[in-house]
Amino acid sequence: MAMSLETPEKIRNLQRKLYCKAKAEPAFRFYLLYDKICREDILRHAYALARANAGAPGVDGVTFTQIEASGVDAWLAGLREELVSKTYRPDPVRRVMIPKPGGGERALGIPSIRCRVIQTAAKLVLEPIFEADFEDGAYGYRPRRSAVDAVKETHRLMCRGYTDVVDADLSKYFDTIPHSDLLKSVARRIVDRSVLRLIRLWLRAPVEERDGDGKRRMTGGKSSTHGTPQGGVVSPLLSVIYMNRFLKHWRLSGLGEEFRAHVISYADDFVILSRDHAAEALAWTRTVMTKLGLSLNEAKTSVKDARREHFDFLGYSLGPRHLPNGGRWYLGASPSRKSVQRIKTKVSALLTPGNKGTWPEVRKRLNRLLGGWAAYFSYGALASAYEGVDRHVYDRVTNFLCRRHKVQGRSTRRFPREHVYGELGVLCLRRERGKQSPWALR
């Protein structure tokens, strides 16, 4: 079922009005918003956006296919009726554990589709209001801003002399945001009780976990006082609203001038770039985060001199680099070692003997994986990272094909590089990048 993802003009006009009002009057509080969330056109567009993101079903097991088989219009009408009559209650959030890149696991919450659609509708209405309040240094989960934009700005500031760096990391940020303080941050702008009630319901939705034997365990619920579940549609917006308290306090306290510093944040990842005041900036940050009910991950937080050592931020490594063949040094950015290792691990996992897919299927998945990685890692010095990934891909592809075709001896004879990256159609990162912007491949 094809649905347009472009925001309809009527909704865009509403968003523009809300943003302009919030921007023009920083102290204005919005009273009538719940009726907008219940609007038929907003719920329909919210469904289209949720559908485009696909995703697994929640605890009720209802899928998009089932909704569409029984009729989207009737389903949306029922959802709207629940909202208007205020009988809507969120389903429990299904929790799954996903592996973290650095080891360990991260909890991901999967709300039901009905909850995802209503959360998306709320986000369509609330986001423009808070967007007007967010500080310049906040890049996470915002329209027309990306993690790569945050990396570019960090690099630009380093090149302007802000090389005394606090490389910071918050401990379990999403799990520790205090509900009462978060709701106060929301209430500074939103007075509509029905909207605040919705947010409170989502924050306190029970969480369903199942163990290896399929045994069900419920946690959270009304007793929950902290955390916003990662995976919920509205969670990223709420997380930025809370982090904005720190950024706003930094600005209003005049710390930028005092420490000759800038903060760049992306959700729970942030760096402070200063001229010789990183230690003081870190001490101040530690105190303020404690007041906010948050804590720094001391093992992952450090002070670095970016002229002499590297630090990792959002998958990139920033710091001193040398031009090829012993050339002069400069401050650069490139994919971090961990990021390169991560894509190599994913390639190896895809090209295992157990993968019985046809070659066109395997190639499609491989190219999608490589294309997505290269689209993100498209800034800074890329040549050595791209070459390393290309070498690994070539090695894995030839091994995979030799096993499949039972080829003896050296695989490079049967599958030379030109053949793998030519007729076999594997994406060569170095070549693709070279077509677009050769200057970036230093």
267 CB-near residues (< 8 Å, 6+ apart):
140, 141, 173, 236, 239, 240, 243
Domain ranges, ordered by start, for the chain: 7-131+177-225, 134-169+237-332, 335-433
Label residue 101 by pLDDT band (50, 70, 90): low
Strand-pair partners of 322: 329
Across the range 186-207, mean pLDDT stands at 94
* Residue 346: other Cβ atoms inside 10 A: 14
- Degrees (nearest 5) of the Cα angle 75, 64, 141? 100
Q: For the segment 317-345, what is each residue's pLDDT rounded down to a tens digit? A: 999 988 877 678 889 999 999 999 999 99
For residue 202, pLDDT over 60 is answered with: yes
For residue 245, pLDDT over 70 is answered with: yes
Q: For the segment 68-95, what is each residue's pLDDT rounded down to a tens digit? A: 999 999 999 999 999 999 999 999 988 8
CA neighbor of 124 nearest in space, from 210, 221, 8: 8
For residue 1, pLDDT over 50 is answered with: no
Tell me how far CA of residue 171 lies from CA of 27, 103, 290, in angstroms: 32, 15, 11
The mean pLDDT of the chain is 89
Pairwise CA distance, residues 200 & 107, whole Å: 20
Label residue 440 by pLDDT band (50, 70, 90): very low
Domain 134-169+237-332 has CATH 3.40.1130: no
pLDDT of residue 367: 94
Query: Is the pTM here over 0.85, yes or no?
Result: yes
Q: For the segment 371-404, what is each residue's pLDDT rounded down to a tens digit? A: 999 999 999 999 999 999 999 999 999 888 888 7
Query: Poorest-confidence range of 117-126, 336-345, 348-357, 372-381?
Result: 348-357
| Residue with more model confidence, 192 or 223 | 192
Cα 67 to the chain's mean position, in Å?
Answer: 28
Q: For the segment 266-285, what is each residue's pLDDT rounded down to a tens digit? A: 988 999 999 999 999 999 99
pLDDT of residue 170: 92
- 93-99 vs 206-210, strand pairing mode: parallel
346 CB-near residues (< 8 Å, 6+ apart):
369
